[in-house]
Amino acid sequence: MRCIDINAPQGFVYRWLCQLTVAPYSIDWLDHPGRRSPRTLTLDAERLTIGQPFLIFAIDSFVSGKSISGRSRPQFIPVYGDIAVSYEALPRSPKTTRLQATACLSRRTPALTRTFLALGDKIMAGRQLKNLKALAEQSSSS
């Protein structure tokens, strides 16, 4: 589980969370080659649907304004394994939100794969949460 506190209301944080259906917001040169994750909100990105692509996942549930959960899309299971992920924007006060990201791996995921995924998660998810924090704080102060 990874968490970051953001100086922005829950609605701003959730809206930026929905941007993960558009781009990864982690290390673009590595996981979004030749493109940069948008620095402005994409029109209608918050209109989520079950089955919609969300990073390497497909959305399997969401609570509008609060959380998004998904499972690995079939084409990514051979590489990363079967992963369930959940992102939740939790209000701490009217002006601050904790963004919490949780990933659960299948028990069948080999130990070596788990090790590489943990290292990748530490780097990529950490950067992703920091980027979302900066963008949400910037947009809420505008």
CA 44 – CA 97 distance, rounded (Å) = 22
Write down the pLDDT at residue 130: 96
Query: CATH number of the domain that 62 lies in?
Result: 3.30.530.20
- Beta strand segments in the chain, E: 2-6, 53-54, 57-63, 67-72, 83-93, 96-105
Provide the 3-class DSSP secondary structure of residue 51.
coil
What range defines the domain where residue 104 resides? 2-141
pLDDT in tens, 84-124: 999 999 999 999 999 999 999 988 888 888 888 888 888 88
How many domains in the chain?
Answer: 1
- For the chain (142 residues), the mean pLDDT of every run of 10, in chain order, is 96 97 86 84 98 97 98 93 96 98 89 85 90 96 81
CA torsion, points 36, 59, 10, 125, in degrees to nearest 10?
A: -50
b/e per residue 76-111 (b: at least 16 CB within 10 A): beeebbebebbbbbeeeeeebbebbbebebeeeeee
Provide the 3-class DSSP secondary structure of residue 72.
strand
Pull the structure tokens for residue 112: 């070596």
Look at the block and give the residue holding tokens 């949780």.
102
Burial class (CB in 10 A: 0-12, 13-18, 19+), 11: middle
Angle subtended by helix axes 10-17 and 111-141, to nearest 10: 130
